[in-house]
């Protein structure tokens, strides 16, 4: 397929894959994945432990080599991008990592602005403004001068998401963003991501475990069945009781509640 394919003015895929194959230790996780996401779409990746959610996100971010197939970002093959140009295009939130050194919170957010003026030794005033705005958006502006090693897990996660906001890229890949967050912050973070998709035409792809949390937020879902099979599409078509039950290995019921759908695990007999 030609890399320079004609792309329409609107709605061209921000990211797409062609027959992408992922495997780990000889086990196929994802087979022949044909998937694309467009501006304004909010995708959630659903699957059991070890189904390949993290591997898929890392591969799409360019941190892991796929076992076959190709990934294009903005119509260009992933290997053709320079790291710097790619950093302007997509951001990646890994699962919580340990901090080895005592950086201040503001430093970690400023680090995400590296791709804007990589040639400069010091960040510009606009970088500082963006970093402070991102901290404010996540409600952690009061922690700006704290040593990251003294933060709680939830605070650290919010700072990491703030860094991602400061990177201000079109595509955001998030590995379990709700991890370690309390209920209020889970909900507000999801609302923020949803708003970014709707109002600023960002594209979000996030791995999640809590189906109810993403309801009303995610527009699309990608189900990894764990054996290489996958299902992708709008939420209504994919997040059905039948498919979710097979995907998660446990029967799921969809319950109507005040006009919204709740996903309830069927109790064990």
Partner 1 sequence: MDTPDKSAKMDGKNGGSGNNSGRGRAALIVGVLLVAALASVLLACVAGSVGVPVAELASGLAEILRGQPESLPAVLLELRLARALAAFATGASLALAGVMMQTLLRNPLADPYVLGVSSGASVGALAAMLLAGATWMVDAGAFCGAAAISLLLYLLARRDLRNGQAEGRAPLILLTGVILAAGCGALVTLMLSLAPDTSLRGMVFWLMGDLSGAQTAWLPWLVLLVVLAISLRQGRPINLLALHDDAAATLGVRVGALRKSLFVCATLLTASAVTSAGSIGFVGLIVPHGCRFAFGADHRVLLPVAMLAGGIFLVLADTLARTLLAPQQLPVGAVTALIGVPVFLLQLHQLHRK
Residues 6+ apart with CB under 8 A from 145: 104, 105, 106
User: What is the spatial order of strands in the sheet that 171-175 belongs to?
Assistant: 90-93, 171-175, 203-207, 42-46, 220-224, 230-234
107 is an interface residue for partner 1 by CB under 8 A: yes
Max CA separation in the chain (angstroms): 63
Select from 26-34, 142-150, 200-208, 259-267 the region that touches partner 1 (CB under 8 A): 142-150
Q: Considering the rule CB under 8 A, would residue 77 count as an interface residue with partner 1?
A: no
The region of 138-146, 211-219, 220-228, 241-249 touching partner 1 under the rule CB under 8 A is 138-146
Q: Are 45 and 29 in contact (CB under 8 A)?
A: no
In the list 17, 59, 115, 194, the residue contacting partner 1 (rule: CB under 8 A) is 115
| Residue whose C-alpha is closest to residue 176's, from 28, 36, 14, 54 | 54
Instruction: Determine if 132 is a binding residue for partner 1 (CB under 8 A).
Output: yes
Query: Residues 3, 11, 34, 118: which binds partner 1 (CB under 8 A)?
Result: 118
Residues 148-187 that bind partner 1 (CB under 8 A): 150, 167
Query: For partner 1, how many residues bind (rule: CB under 8 A)?
Result: 42
**Shortest distance in whole angstroms from residue 162 CB to partner 1:** 14
Q: Taking the mean position of all CA atoms in its chain, how far away is CA 6? A: 27
As measured in angstroms, the least distance from the Cβ of 240 to partner 1 is 33
Task: Rank residues 31 and 123 by Cβ distance to partner 1 and give the closer one.
Answer: 123
Is residue 39 within a helix (H) or strand (E), and if so which, with residue range? Answer: none
Query: Is 63 a residue that touches partner 1 (CB under 8 A)?
Result: yes
Pick the stretch among 105-113, 211-219, 250-258, 259-267 that binds partner 1 (CB under 8 A): 105-113
Q: Are 143 and 105 in contact (CB under 8 A)?
A: yes
- φ, ψ at 20 (rounded to 5°): -70, 130
* Among residues 53, 90, 156, 231, the one that binds partner 1 under rule CB under 8 A: 90
Q: Is 139 in the site for partner 1 (CB under 8 A)?
A: no
What is the C-alpha separation between 45 and 64, in angstroms, rounded?
A: 18
- The two structure tokens encoding residue 29: 């996780």
> Any contact of residue 88 with partner 1 (CB under 8 A)?
yes
User: Residue 84, interface with partner 1 (CB under 8 A)?
Assistant: yes
The tokens describing 136, both together, are 């404010």
**Measured distance between the N- and C-terminal CA atoms of the chain, rounded to whole angstroms:** 51
Nearest to 264 by CA among 256, 34, 123: 256
Contact 185, 158 (CB under 8 A): yes
Out of 38, 67, 111, 170, name the contact with partner 1 by CB under 8 A.
111
Q: Assess 49 for contact with partner 1 (CB under 8 A).
A: no
Minimum distance from CB of 32 to partner 1 (Å)? 26
Residues in contact with partner 1 by the rule CB under 8 A: 61-63, 83-84, 86-88, 90-92, 94, 97, 99-104, 106-108, 111-112, 114-115, 118, 121-125, 127-129, 132, 141-142, 144-145, 150, 167
């Amino acid at each position: 397929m030609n890399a320079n394919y004609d792309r329409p003015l609107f709605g061209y895929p921000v990211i797409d894959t062609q027959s992408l194959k992922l495997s780990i230790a000889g086990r196929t996780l994802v087979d022949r994945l044909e998937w694309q996401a467009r501006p304004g779409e909010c995708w959630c990746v659903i699957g059991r432990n070890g189904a390949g959610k993290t591997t898929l996100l890392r591969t799409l971010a360019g941190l892991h080599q796929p076992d076959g197939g190709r990934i294009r970002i903005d119509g260009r093959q992933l290997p053709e991008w320079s790291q710097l140009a790619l950093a302007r295009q997509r951001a990646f939130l890994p699962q919580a990592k340990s901090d080895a050194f005592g950086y201040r919170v503001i430093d970690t957010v400023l680090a995400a602005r590296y791709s804007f003026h990589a040639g400069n030794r010091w960040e510009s005033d606009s970088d500082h403004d963006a970093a402070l705005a991102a901290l404010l958006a996540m409600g952690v502006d009061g922690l700006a001068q704290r040593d990251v090693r003294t933060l709680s897990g939830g605070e650290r996660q919010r700072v990491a998401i703030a860094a991602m906001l400061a990177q201000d890229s079109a595509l955001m890949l998030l590995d379990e963003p709700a991890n370690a967050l309390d209920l209020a912050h889970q909900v507000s973070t999801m609302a923020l991501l949803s708003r970014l998709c709707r109002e600023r035409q960002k594209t979000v792809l996030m791995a999640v475990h809590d189906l109810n949390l993403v309801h009303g937020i995610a527009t699309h879902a990608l189900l990894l069945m764990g054996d290489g099979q996958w299902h992708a599409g709008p939420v209504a078509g994919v997040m059905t009781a039948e498919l979710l039950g097979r995907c998660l290995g446990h029967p799921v019921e969809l319950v109507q509640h005040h006009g919204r759908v709740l996903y309830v695990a069927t109790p064990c007999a």
